[in-house]
Amino acid sequence: QITLKESGPTLVKPTQTLSVTCTFSGFSLSTSGVGVGWIRQPPGKALEWLGIIYWDDDKHYSPSLKNRLRLTKDTSKSQVVLTLTNADPVDTATYYCAHKHWNFNWFDPWGPGTLVTVSS
């Protein structure tokens, strides 16, 4: 059974760095084709795809966040970390991580999400 869970600070000040950790079980990020994707959702708004990190450490980022977003993985700890620099109130959202199927680009399952608020 695959499970994922996001964790991190719930409140971040503007200009600081927002960091969320995804801890997963039931799969290995060293398995060919596997990836962990990140998606966020501002309160009351739609899903926004942020990026993905693959088993081979390849990454893709949303063009709108490319300059501020970084994804890193620690395979031994079964963790992926999302880092978003220079946080702004518009970054306030629930952040989700999700498992990417080894052979296709769909995401299932997802973690429960964590709400991060950017405010002074």
Partner 1 sequence: DIQMTQSPSSLSASVGDRVTMTCRASQSISNYLNWYQQKPGKAPKLLIHAASILQGGVPSRFSGSGSGTDFTLTISSLQAEDFASYYCQQSDSAPFTFGPGTKVDIK
Q: Which of residues 57-96 bind partner 1 (CB under 8 A)?
A: 60-63, 96
Name the segment binding partner 1 (CB under 8 A); options: 9-17, 26-34, 74-82, 109-117.
109-117
The rounded distance, in Å, linking the Cα atoms of 53 and 34 is: 9
Closest CB 120 distance from partner 1, rounded Å: 27
Establish if 33 lies at the interface with partner 1 (CB under 8 A).
no
How many alpha carbons fall within 13 Å on the CB side of residue 119? Answer: 7
Neighbour count for residue 115 (Cβ, 10 Å): 13
Question: Given candidates 32, 43, 104, 120, which one binds partner 1 under the rule CB under 8 A?
Answer: 104
User: Which residues lie below 8 Å from residue 10, measured CB to CB, with a gap of 6+?
Assistant: 114, 115, 116, 117
Residues forming the site for partner 1 (CB under 8 A): 37, 39, 46-49, 51-52, 60-63, 96, 104-113
